[in-house]
Amino acid sequence: MIRYGDVITDSIVDGPGIRVVTFLQGCPRRCEGCHNPSLLPREGGQEITERELAKMLLKKLTPKHAGLTFSGGDPLMQWEKLLNVISFIRKRKPGVNIWVYTGYTFEEVKDLPVMELIDVLVDGPFIIKEKDISLVFRGSRNQRIIDVSKSLESGEIREFFLEKNVVNS
């Protein structure tokens, strides 16, 4: 069973294009200025099987969507369950673009099996002293937007850079 707080189908701030975003429940951090404080408690939200969540997300994906994003809370707090959800989705829709937001750094989570299924990781805790509203898809300057497959392949961080004109595929 996985815990989630909400699913939205029209986000334009959680990755490129219009995205389906799942907000997973629970976060071990208490970052000052947290964007989603209601998602901090582990026991909040709704509990559902990983397969049910994956099926729900697949039904919500339409041709207008550029991909899926998992946010929170912190999705990697439930990484084993997230692995099951993403594996189910990848078997049915292998090319779907998947982003994950986490307060952990890439260095802390790079060896988790779920990382091999994630396209882009936005890593690092939100730090209010580094808050910058001009940043795209992140809240503070310490956070990085990482191309996971290139980083795992090369053994060093490869940041993900957006094209100026992102078009939904």
Q: Report residue 167's pLDDT band, with 50, 70 and 90 as the boundaries.
A: very low
CATH of domain 2-154: 3.20.20.70
Neighbour order of strands in the sheet with 46-48: 46-48, 2-11, 18-24, 65-72, 98-101, 120-123, 144-147
Place of tokens 């936005």: 122
Tell me: pLDDT of 33 over 60: yes
Query: Average pLDDT, stretch 3-27?
Result: 95
Q: Quote the pLDDT of residue 30.
A: 84
Tell me: pLDDT of 79 over 80: yes
Tell me: pLDDT of 135 over 70: yes
Query: Average pLDDT, stretch 55-77?
Result: 96
Instruction: Provide the residue ranges of all domains of the chain, joining segments of one domain with +.
Output: 2-154
Tell me: pLDDT of 166 over 90: no
Its pTM stands at 0.92
Q: Quote the pLDDT of residue 163.
A: 65
